[in-house]
A and B are shown apart, each in its own frame.
Chain A
Amino acid sequence: MAENIDLVETAESTKTYLGFWIYIMTDCILFASLFAVYAVLHNNTNGGHSGQTLFSMPYALAETLILLTSSFTSGLTILAARRNNSKKVMLWMAITFFLGGLFLFLEVKEFNHLIQTGNSWRVSGFLSSYFTLVGTHGLHISIGLIWMAILVFFIFRNGLSKKTIKGLTLFNLFWHFLDVIWIFIFSVVYLMGHVGL
């Protein structure tokens, strides 16, 4: 048991981990520029809907809570890995995957609804920037889901080795980061859009 705590701690102090941290910080800058675009364009509705009439608040709240919970369970994966409990690791990974998938499903459904009701990204600068910002986040979530599936496969095959634990810690960082970005999407796009920025 003590051995595995060491494995997690060494994985978290490698150069790979620091490099991944730097990647995440640069990804933050990517999202910041998309937020800047949204902040500049959100009033250019071209006579169409604004955020105030377009978004459903309870729906956005449900998405937020689902993603927050999946971020929490992803953290529990690391705690289970520290205890060398590979069954629990798989269980928490499965729950994280399910919640992440549910979140992505809700987001795609929302996009589909917007496009079906004639509010696609072609309509206005506001909608273009909205789809770019939220869509880029959704793309990251999809990549995270694929990564999670690959990780689960390797843990299933090789157990909790040095390599799989390293992958787990990096993935955990990535998943937490996606939830951090979502706080700002929820606050700036949905809540402030609802109030009428």
Chain B
Amino acid sequence: MKEKKRFLQYCLGYISCILLTMFAYLIANLNYYHNWAIISGIGLLAFIQFIVQMIFFLHLSNSKKDRLKLYIFLSMAVIVMILVIGSVWIMNSLNARMMPSPNNVNKYIKSQDGL
């Protein structure tokens, strides 16, 4: 009985992952909406699929047996968030503050009426 439940759990995880992948693929090929809407949609679907695989395939749960695994997972998630969001934030900010190219400087001077 328990074995059958496990098998069904796997099938459910597999089918929902396929559906999520196909859905993300279809959304990426839409041209009607603004890019940011599509990109956040893809990001959201990836996140959902990540959670689905973590629960159905990697058997992450809040049961007493898996509690330690869950805590290690959560601390990893915090480090990953800091790493990725922090890098993107800092580097974009640096890019925005970079010295502009000579071409752009000339354009700027011209736009300021011969400074």
Contacts and interface: CB of A to CB of B under 8 A. Distances in A.
B24 A177 contact: no
A interface residue count range (under 10 / 10 to 19 / 20 to 34 / 35 or more): 35 or more
Interface residues of B, number: 41
Nearest to B65: A13
A95 interface: no
Given A28-B76, A82-B3, A180-B54, A68 B83 contact: no
Which of A179, A186, A187 is the most central at the interface, judged by chain B CB atoms within 10 Å of its CB? A187
Contacts of A82: 3, 6
A72 B9 CA distance: 11
A5 B1 CA distance: 13
Contact of B57 (A18, A32, A40, A176): A176
Which of A29, A37, A177, A192 is the most central at the interface, judged by chain B CB atoms within 10 Å of its CB? A192
Interface of B: 3, 6-7, 10, 13-14, 17-18, 21, 24-25, 27-29, 35, 38-39, 42-43, 45-46, 49-50, 53-54, 57-58, 65, 68-69, 72-73, 75-76, 79-80, 83-84, 87-88, 91
